[in-house]
Structure 1
Amino acid sequence: MNTTLAHLSRRILPAVLGITVIAGCGGSGGAPAAKGTPSSALPAPSAPATSSSPSPSPSPTPTVTPSGDADPALKPFYGQQIAWSSCPADPAKKDVDMSDFQCGTAHVPLDYGNPGGDTVDLALMRKQAVHQDQRLGSLFLNPGGPGGSGLDLLTNAATSSFGNLNNRYDLIGFDPRGVGKSTAVHCLDDSARDQLDAQDHAGPTSVKDFGAACEAKSGKLLPFVGTVNAARDLDVLRGAVGDQKLNYLGFSYGTYLGTFYANQFPDRTGRLVLDGAMDPSVSPLDGDVAQMVGFEGVYERFAADCVNQSQCPLGSDAGAAAKKAADFLDGLQAHPLTSPTSGRKLTQALGWTGAMDMLYGDAKSWEYLRIGLTQAMQKHQPDLLLAFADDYNGRDQQGHFSNQADANQAINCADDGSTPPTDDQLQQALQQLHAKAPYLTNHMTLDDVRAAMDCADWPVHGSTPPQVLKATGSAPILVVGSTGDDATPYAWAQHLAGSLANATLLTRDGDGHTGYDKSSCIKTAVDAFLIDGTMPAAGTHCPTTAASSGS
């Protein structure tokens, strides 16, 4: 499986708020999904509770009461009482003060067509509003992916990024079905995942073997992990915490989930923000090509910026810098670098993965990439680039993987209802990539592109074709797009905002994926909308500036 294409489109892993496993980095980060265990005997939902519902729009509501749903078969799920309690100790969060966080579990149907059958556990984490007398309700957070852990997003960013929002909202992070500490998809063990991620080119059986491993370990879950079901779960969670309307802040793939929610439940939308917007009307193949072209542009801008810095391993010629770095990374296929500390090899696939991990970010992450390339190119030390690749792939320092890559694949394929591309279409895509993204795709072959469209050989066939979603009847929705976003091109945000029946586009001018953490102007506007309901004027543009913590 070729990393530089197969992990794109909704195949990209979470990349928001500078959350990385490398202390101090501000790149794509991907909040690493916590490891979970699939459940073979899922507990039944709690008995329904009867009580009044809060007011339809966000307003001070000091107490939380569960609300029901019109479908009698689903009322036990909507009415369940979440037993919030202190979160269990987590060695991965030993530097985080967990005393202000509460954890709980909700239960939802595995198959909404058979709500009386098996159930799925959803892991939740809550940080209650600081000012309970001014509480507006709950704000659900999703970091993207698919495969990103909302629990990790909350613990890593509740104070640093969401402080203003936490004054008035209970912040709730959740792991969607298939992810992290919820009932999770598991496919490969650590050793097999290591081998797959380091593989420079797709083998003839790589995709089929991966799918077979997922079916063997998680076959019962695979047909039901798609975004349509995740959106239904989100509505159950809304009811279970006692909110009559959903307030939601989603990043990257989280915008896809939020869009599907708004389209399925327009009358239950409260204040929704979709940052780093995906366009549901774009086919997976077209999306992969568009993303790679976007990354190419950012890569070239990184190289041009590098030659103006005091220490750059790419020389002083801006015209030659991008080629020099690409030649080095491509050369790792024949001459991988071996880490003197761990003995691990930096392959072409891992080198490009590490580089692209940092291309998600802003100038700070470009600095880290520059240092990583310097160490590898001049000192033959690959450890920093390996660390960036591990960050992207969800690998911790002990060599253990989160399930984010397994979940990413499973959810993408459960969603992918597009017609499989023909060989001619794949060849045309490869020609486009070579023409429009030559540095990043010079090494790619037709087999690599075919492997990227790996759902054709997946055990489950998706049921969600590319489509325009309008969410007619929804409350106003705020869509945030960034002009230099490589992972979710700005054109997607423009089209989504224009397609939704009641949406406003807020634009950040600058590079990097998502806007909330990269612009104090964007952050101020988003917070004002979520807290006061104040929508920014149509056509508003914000510069890229340091976003304050707002704690």
Structure 2
Amino acid sequence: MNVNIARLSGRLLPAALAAALLAGCSGTTASPEAAAPSVPSASPSPTATPTGEADPALKPFYGQQLAWAACPDDPKTKKQDESALQCARLRVPLDYTAPGGETVELALARRQSAKADQRLGSLLLNPGGPGGSGVEFVQGAAELGKNGLRDRYDLVGFDPRGVGASTAVHCLDDKARDAWDTTDTRDGSRGTTLAQACAANSGKLLAHVGTRDAARDLDVLRGALGDPKLNYLGFSYGTYLGTRYAEQFPAKVGRVVLDGAVDPTLSQLDHSVQQNISFEKSLRAFAADCVQQAQCSLGKDPEKAAEKLAKFLDGLKAEPLDVPGGRKLTASAAWTGTLSMLYADKSGWEYLRNALGWAMVREKGDYLMALADDYYGRSEDGGHNNMFDAYTAIHCADPGSGAPSDAQLAAAKQQLHEQAPLISARYTDEDLFDPDCRSWPYRTTEQPGPVKAAGAAPILVVGSTGDPATPYAWAEKLATGLGNATLLTREGEGHTGYGKNECTTAAVDAFLNTGTLPAPGTRCQ
């Protein structure tokens, strides 16, 4: 579910929400000579329908009292006051097969319902990733829920296990992360190096950060909040988490919206190929739009604009641009900054045009580097949040992360050569894996496949026709596969649909507020 890390991080989160996902935490780097991580015994896959709160060993977790208190205000976020919200922590088992053993903690934040007499319960939110912070999402998304959701729900954000302020995965320190994110040189040892660093700092956690475990945490949180059913709005990777929840706890599904759907039937390699193709389409759409504007550094020929852009970005490998502070805008960083703006709809394209003009005409790389830094979770002081570390650990723990055959790899490269020639022009085998899970020792033996949610309440799936990160076909496939889902289509560019036009937003709000689904086949222009 990702695009090559050297050109674009594969984290699946709405770019419009990126500012709300900045934090400043990182781990330490294992030395290159560190021993290979010891391989723990494979975690058994949970049953399709865990017993949940009916399990006597889990009742203390479901019944725990959450100690809500004002969130600490972060002085770095001058335009928002986190203390206006409440924060708490939830305790869950590290290993659900041994609930009496060690525990981990999840960070929570909530914006309480504005009208107690209209309150329906809690609406749990996940912004994507894997690795996105739901706590910071709720704290930073001041506009969220203004169309009635704030009146009817407590808006609750949570950092899944391994993420952010929860018991978190840490792999690389800030200096190592800077080099890792911007390098134009990769080889087959890259995956092993990262696995060693993660194992050295977070080895005990790595076997228990998969999405199935996170879905079980979600049910514990539902119980601790006192909600009989789960009401949930998940974006991008958050749709995969919601899908796994519906599979394991169908009787507990309330009003669930999955926006920017991930296809659970695809392997890591297939996800990568399909995303690359989708991003190529969006890149060409941006270039074609650019040449129609008054100022565009790509010229006036729509047939050559995208090729000119790709040639410039690739050329930075040989001649990177200087960036204040002694840094360099590499080809990798420039591709990341460019493609990250395709997560937004056309409203973000003007900023990208200006950033490209600044680099291509004035030979200044600071604006493109700022876009890459924002996407990588790098703050102005050089600190990084742990999104990338968590992304690697969670993604590699989920189904589909195994090594493909030589024939599958050859077929993938041929497909990219034909359908995404600009983005994949200089790909090596390693470039097809983001992250490279082939040497990760904590993988599940479970294979990707269709997910059913038999007996669950109706689910609303939202797909956007020009979505580069989660192609529209994934939403179609998920809605069909679940068997009890309605597909809402937004026609337009950008990742995810909620908040991008009135039609889509109103349909989602109507479902969450009243339970009314849009008519089958509804398309928002």
Structure 2 equivalent of residue 412 of structure 1: 395
In the alignment, the residues of structure 2 paired with residue 77 and residue 325 of structure 1 have an alpha-carbon distance, to the nearest angstrom, of 53
Structure 1 equivalent of residue 36 of structure 2: none
In the alignment, the residues of structure 2 paired with residue 353 and residue 137 of structure 1 have an alpha-carbon distance, to the nearest angstrom, of 39
Partner SS, residue 458 of structure 1: coil
Structure 1 equivalent of residue 363 of structure 2: 380
In the alignment, the residues of structure 1 paired with residue 18 and residue 295 of structure 2 have an alpha-carbon distance, to the nearest angstrom, of 24
**Unpaired runs of at least 5, structure 1:** 22-29, 39-67, 544-551
- In the alignment of these two chains, the number of paired residues is 501
Q: State whether residues 469 and 499 of structure 1, in contact with CA within 8 Å, keep that contact through their aligned partners in structure 2.
A: yes
Structure 2 equivalent of residue 130 of structure 1: 114
Q: State whether residues 278 and 493 of structure 1, in contact with CA within 8 Å, keep that contact through their aligned partners in structure 2.
A: yes
Partner SS, residue 249 of structure 1: strand
Partner SS, residue 329 of structure 1: helix
Partner SS, residue 459 of structure 1: coil
Q: State whether residues 279 and 492 of structure 1, in contact with CA within 8 Å, keep that contact through their aligned partners in structure 2.
A: yes
Shift of 1:362: 1.1
In the alignment, the residues of structure 1 paired with residue 15 and residue 403 of structure 2 have an alpha-carbon distance, to the nearest angstrom, of 34
1:18 is the counterpart of 2:16: yes
One-letter code of the match for 2:484?
N
One-letter code of the match for 1:87?
C
In the alignment, the residues of structure 2 paired with residue 453 and residue 424 of structure 1 have an alpha-carbon distance, to the nearest angstrom, of 20
Structure 2 equivalent of residue 82 of structure 1: 66
Shift of 1:418: 5.1
Change (3 A) 1:387 1:254: same
One-letter code of the match for 1:425?
Q
Change (3 A) 1:185 1:510: same
Structure 2 equivalent of residue 35 of structure 1: 25
Structure 2 equivalent of residue 184 of structure 1: 168
Q: State whether residues 247 and 452 of structure 2, in contact with CA within 8 Å, keep that contact through their aligned partners in structure 1.
A: yes
Deviations 1:188-238 (A, max 9, x none): 000000001111131232211111000000000000000000000000000
Pairing partner for 2:513 from 522, 528, 531: 531
Change (3 A) 1:132 1:239: same
Q: State whether residues 73 and 116 of structure 1, in contact with CA within 8 Å, keep that contact through their aligned partners in structure 2.
A: yes
Structure 1 equivalent of residue 474 of structure 2: 492
**TM-score if structure 1 supplies the norm length?**
0.88
Pairwise CA RMSD:
1.8
Shift of 1:7: 7.5
One-letter code of the match for 1:512?
G
Identify which range, 288-297 or 196-205, moves more after superposition. Answer: 196-205
Pairing partner for 1:112 from 96, 100, 104: 96
One-letter code of the match for 1:16?
P
Partner SS, residue 247 of structure 2: helix
**TM-score if structure 2 supplies the norm length?**
0.92
1:6 is the counterpart of 2:33: no
Shift of 1:419: 4.3
One-letter code of the match for 1:123?
A
1:285 is the counterpart of 2:284: no
Q: State whether residues 26 and 172 of structure 2, in contact with CA within 8 Å, keep that contact through their aligned partners in structure 1.
A: no
1:142 is the counterpart of 2:140: no
Shift of 1:432: 1.1
1:216 is the counterpart of 2:207: no
Deviations 1:87-113 (A, max 9, x none): 112123332133430000000000000
Deviations 1:444-464 (A, max 9, x none): 123422x44611101312243
Percent identity reads 56
One-letter code of the match for 1:115?
P
1:317 is the counterpart of 2:307: no
One-letter code of the match for 1:378?
V
One-letter code of the match for 1:232?
R
Pairing partner for 2:78 from 89, 94, 100: 94
Shift of 1:160: 4.5
Partner SS, residue 356 of structure 1: helix
Identify which range, 514-523 or 86-95, moves more after superposition. Answer: 86-95
Structure 1 equivalent of residue 247 of structure 2: 263
Structure 2 equivalent of residue 547 of structure 1: none
In the alignment, the residues of structure 2 paired with residue 515 and residue 444 of structure 1 have an alpha-carbon distance, to the nearest angstrom, of 31
1:206 is the counterpart of 2:195: no
Q: State whether residues 463 and 489 of structure 2, in contact with CA within 8 Å, keep that contact through their aligned partners in structure 1.
A: yes
Change (3 A) 1:17 1:169: farther
Structure 2 equivalent of residue 358 of structure 1: 341
Identify which range, 103-112 or 433-442, moves more after superposition. Answer: 433-442
Change (3 A) 1:468 1:4: closer
Shift of 1:417: 4.5
Deviations 1:507-551 (A, max 9, x none): 0001110000211100000000000000100000002xxxxxxxx
One-letter code of the match for 2:283?
Y
1:483 is the counterpart of 2:465: yes
Structure 1's consecutive aligned runs of 4 or more residues displaced over 4 angstroms after TM superposition are 160-163
Structure 2 equivalent of residue 522 of structure 1: 504
Change (3 A) 1:178 1:8: farther
1:501 is the counterpart of 2:519: no
In the alignment, the residues of structure 2 paired with residue 7 and residue 102 of structure 1 have an alpha-carbon distance, to the nearest angstrom, of 38
Q: State whether residues 186 and 214 of structure 1, in contact with CA within 8 Å, keep that contact through their aligned partners in structure 2.
A: yes
One-letter code of the match for 1:18?
A
In the alignment, the residues of structure 2 paired with residue 120 and residue 95 of structure 1 have an alpha-carbon distance, to the nearest angstrom, of 32
Identify which range, 417-426 or 496-505, moves more after superposition. Answer: 417-426
Structure 2 equivalent of residue 27 of structure 1: none
In the alignment, the residues of structure 2 paired with residue 445 and residue 32 of structure 1 have an alpha-carbon distance, to the nearest angstrom, of 31
One-letter code of the match for 1:167?
D
Shift of 1:119: 0.3
Structure 2 equivalent of residue 327 of structure 1: 311
One-letter code of the match for 1:411?
I
Shift of 1:161: 5.1
Partner SS, residue 221 of structure 1: helix
Partner SS, residue 170 of structure 1: strand
The 5 Å alignment of 1:236-251 reads 236-251=220-235
Q: State whether residues 313 and 377 of structure 1, in contact with CA within 8 Å, keep that contact through their aligned partners in structure 2.
A: yes
In the alignment, the residues of structure 2 paired with residue 506 and residue 80 of structure 1 have an alpha-carbon distance, to the nearest angstrom, of 37
In the alignment, the residues of structure 2 paired with residue 116 and residue 36 of structure 1 have an alpha-carbon distance, to the nearest angstrom, of 30
One-letter code of the match for 1:536?
P
Pairing partner for 1:432 from 395, 415, 440: 415
